[in-house]
Structure 1
Amino acid sequence: MFDHLIGLSMLIAASAVFVYYTIWTLFMPFVDEVHPLHSLFPPRVWAIRIPVILIILFTTVVGSFLSVVMIRSNRKKALKAKQKKAS
């Protein structure tokens, strides 16, 4: 039951972010600059900056994780080869 609640809340959050970003990037350029709706959204330049920052952050985290895994794997292989050679 708890897993379904977490899954549903994640789905709702992802949908809300998608709808907000879609309105911000696709519909707000056609609304007059003086309209009060513009106060609900950041400047348009952030529509590009935010995804770029997230992509850079994501690739950095994934690359770091893969590097750590590869380094540990090579250390284990080297240790096994060293033990086999000593035997």
Structure 2
Amino acid sequence: MELADRAVGFLLSFISISIFAYYTFWVIILPFVDSDHFIHKYFLPQDYAILIPVFAGVTLLCFLCTFVGFVMLKSKQKAK
């Protein structure tokens, strides 16, 4: 079981670092590269650099509020 936990941890760390590196390059370095450079075809337009994190944050906040609401309803039903 310990080996499986390490493998999952390594995979999650690798994915997180990859996403961080991609986003950092996309937001910080890419605006300084010429627009006709071939590297631009591997990245989405700059508008999405703000829209994707905002959408992810709103979605996470909605799921968190829904979870807290269900927990509060269940604890209220148990108290009766």
TM bucket by the smaller chain?
over 0.9
Identity of aligned pairs, percent? 32
Gaps of 5+ in 1: 80-87
Name the amino acid aligned to 1:67.
Answer: G
Alignment of 1:54-65 (within 5 A): 54-65=56-67
- TM-score, normalising length from structure 2? 0.95
Structure 2: gaps spanning 5 or more residues:
none
- CA RMSD, aligned part only? 0.5
Normalised to the residue count of structure 1, the TM-score between the two structures is: 0.88
Q: State the number of aligned residues.
A: 78
* 1:13-69: CA deviation from partner (whole Å, max 9, x where unpaired): 100000000000000000011000000000000000000000000000000000000
- The equivalent position to 2:31 in structure 1, one of 29, 32, 53, is 29
Runs of 4+ in 1 over 3 A off after TM superposition: none
